[in-house]
Amino acid sequence: MNGIETLKNKVLAGIPLQMEEVCALGENPDRKAVLDAAAEITVKMAPRGCHLCSIINARSGRCTEDCKWCSQSARHHCDVEVYPLVDEKQALEGLYLSCERKVNKYSLVTSGKNLSDTDLQKICKLYSRMKQENKCGLCGSLGLLTKGQLKALKDAGMSTFHCNLETAPSFFKNLCTSHTSEEKMQSLRWAKEVGLEICSGGIIGMGESRQQRIELAFALKSLEVPSIPINVLDPIKGTELEKEPLISDDEILLTVALFRFVNPTAYLRFAGGKTRLSEETLTEAVRVGINAAIVGDMLTTPGLQVDADRNRFIRQNR
């Protein structure tokens, strides 16, 4: 039995892999066999169906943080719309549209490191109002929050807290110095403690190594994250990563496969940057591990149409 089969069978038997095993898998020259093994794990262990999450940019621009990839940082000079927190009418319009398209979860996303007490009160009122509609799950990506803030949001009606780790803890300081990977992980731990579901992933193609992408997969596993967005860097003019070379489609597919080996029962959710990928790559990504997607407004880069994502999953699940 070759090494790929051995590792696949360990995963199928419920035995977690070690970092060095997955790193060796990433270097295996038989790339097709690695992808095929990940596809089998996906079929046998991952949730099936079509799980979609819709996001709206609920507050845009003027972020104080120095994340090198982000067009909303006030330290960059990007052509992005700047506006304060959306009102109830705008939030509900997005919710109604998402429900009309049969999206599973609807999320408000705000720029900025955290929430002021005033903004927290406003956002809690929004979630309370949206909860009354009882249409779909309610998620929030609202910065680095305290345990008390997360409890208040849960009580108001938010069911899921999203906070991307973005990249491997060992690489994070190369991309952001105004907050830390540990701060993100602490907010996620607090969210779990108050009874919220958590969602966390990252962006690939920001100059990290393959080993660091695997490190990110293990960091997410250590937090028992059930929903993992995988973004592909789409370099934005005006950011510090605007000239970052594009990660190849083959490397994207390998990353998805390795994430599936590490997190066999999670939703691996294609998110930002997928618009630059071919239909062939998107279809193969679904085969080898992607089983969810973020749709609709993709903050400062365009997303894909809801029907296109849904049909891709339907074809794969036949």
Length of the chain in terms of residues written: 318
Does the pLDDT at position 316 exceed 80? no
By CB atoms closer than 10 A (0-12, 13-18, 19+), residue 310 is: middle
Per-residue pLDDT at 69: 85
Does the pLDDT at position 168 exceed 90? yes
Phi-psi region of 126 (alpha: psi -120 to 50; beta: other; left: phi over 0): alpha
Per-residue pLDDT at 300: 34
Domain 53-316: homologous superfamily in CATH: Aldolase class I (3.20.20.70)
- Token pair of 159 as six digits: 């069911």
Between CA 126 and CA 318 the distance in angstroms is: 39
Note the pTM of the prediction, 2 decimals: 0.93
Domain range list for the chain: 53-316
Does the pLDDT at position 298 exceed 80? no
Does the pLDDT at position 276 exceed 90? no
Report CA-CA distances (Å) from 257 to 69, 189, 190, 219, 272: 24, 26, 29, 16, 18
For the residues of 175-202, what is the DSSP string, one character each? T-SSS-HHHHHHHHHHHHHTT-EEE--E
Contact criterion met (CB below 8 Å) for 23 and 211: yes
Residue 246: CB atoms within 10 Å: 14
- Kindly state the average pLDDT of the residues 62-74: 80
- Kindly state the average pLDDT of the residues 133-158: 94
Q: Please report where in the chains the tokens 């929430």 appear, as a residue.
A: 115
Between CA 261 and CA 21 the distance in angstroms is: 10
The alpha carbon of 152 is separated from its chain's Cα centroid by a whole number of angstroms, namely 23
Which of helix, strand or coil describes residue 228?
A: strand
- Token pair of 81 as six digits: 């719309």
